[in-house]
Amino acid sequence: MSGSFGFSTLQKALSWARSKSLWQISTGAGCCADEVLNAIGARYDLERFGSVAQVDARQSDLLIVNGAISLKAAPYLRALYNEMLEPKYVLAIGSCANGGGLFGPKYSYATTAGANEVVPVDVYVPGCPPRPEAIMNGLIYLQEKIRRGREHNSNEA
Ligand code: SF4
């Protein structure tokens, strides 16, 4: 009994620590990238929530996808995701990353219908583009999800 209590307490502590140290890498493929940069920058400062921008996927456990994903770019996005640390999480920012948006397959033969066709998305942030507050809100929602014990999404491609 005390052993399982200790284990679940440890799990909760680990989930809490994990949620507060999401090191992120961003694809920056669309105009939503400006809003992501805005959210990372001094005014909104995602670092306050423990989310630090990285340049190397191997040091990141949060992938922020924004912009339309072309069929040509999809394998590279997946390769980036595969390089990331486990457990890893994906935040899809804006209509294009969420479902293709203005450049989706309905209007173009060269794009995917959103990030979830390539990588397993944990949280979708709507908008075209979403404001930095919405991106911040998406991050906070993801942190809650991790604290509640969401295990790594095993949507292997
Ligand atoms: S959702 Fe809108 S703002 Fe964001 S990349 Fe697509 S077209 Fe640009």
Ligand 1 mean position to 128 CA, how many Å? 5
Burial class for 97, CB neighbours closer than 10 Å (0-12, 13-18, 19+): buried
**Average confidence (pLDDT) over 87-112:** 93
Ligand 1 atom at shortest distance from the alpha carbon of 102: 7
CATH of 10-147 among 3.40.50.2300, 3.40.50.12280, 1.10.10.10, 3.40.640.10? 3.40.50.12280
Q: What is the DSSP string of 95-110?
A: HHHHH-GGGSTTT-SS
- Residue 128 Cβ inside 6 Å of ligand 1? The answer reads yes
Of residues 124, 145, 144, the one with CA closest to residue 134: 124
Kindly report the protein residue whose alpha carbon is nearest to atom 4 of ligand 1.
32
Average per-residue pLDDT for the chain: 90
Kindly report the protein residue whose alpha carbon is nearest to atom 8 of ligand 1.
31
Residue 91, classed as helix, strand or coil, is: strand
CB-CB contact of 65 with 99 (8 Å)? no
pLDDT tens digits for 110-143?
A: 999 999 999 999 999 999 999 999 999 999 999 9
Spans of all domains in the chain: 10-147
